[in-house]
Amino acid sequence: MVVITRWDRDREPKTAMKSLTLEMQTKKVMDINTERSLLIKELQQVQDISLLKAIKAMLHYGLKNEGRISIEQYNRELDEAEAEIERGEFTTQEELKKQMKAW
C-alpha cells in the first residue's frame, strides 16, 4: 500500500513521483532481504537431503536458465534424476505430506 503524505502532495509531481519510486525500490530490497533471511533460516532446519537437492536444483535452474535448455542438458538431467531414483534418493508423496504437517 502506498500512502502519499500531505508533504508529498505539496511537492512538484515529478519530485513526488521520484520520491515514491525510490521508496518502493527501497521497500522491495528490504522485502527481498527479509525473504532471503527467512529462507536461509528455514533451510538450516531441513534434514532431508532429497528436499535440499530439489531446492538446490530449482535455484540453479532459476539462476542460470532464463530460457530453454539444450536437448543434451535435458537428457543429462534426466539421467541424473533416474540414477538418484535408482539409489533411493527420493521422497514419496506420503513422506512429503508427513513432513509438511510437521512444518
Same domain, 35 and 57: no
Closest CA to 49 of 60, 61, 57: 57
Same domain, 67 and 87: yes
Closest CA to 39 of 59, 21, 19: 59
Same domain, 60 and 70: yes
pLDDT given for residue 86 in this prediction: 94
Same domain, 37 and 2: yes
Same domain, 65 and 93: yes
The model's pLDDT over 68-103, given as tens digits with 9 standing for 90+, comes to: 778 898 899 999 999 999 999 888 999 999 989 988
User: What DSSP character marks residue 11?
Assistant: S
**Phi-psi domain of 26 (left: phi exceeds 0; alpha: psi -120 through 50; beta: other):** alpha
Rounded to the nearest integer, the mean pLDDT of the chain is 78
- Mean pLDDT on 20-29: 61
Residue 61 vs residue 39, higher pLDDT: 39
How far apart, in whole angstroms, are the C-alpha atoms of residue 86 and residue 80?
10
Same domain, 16 and 61: no
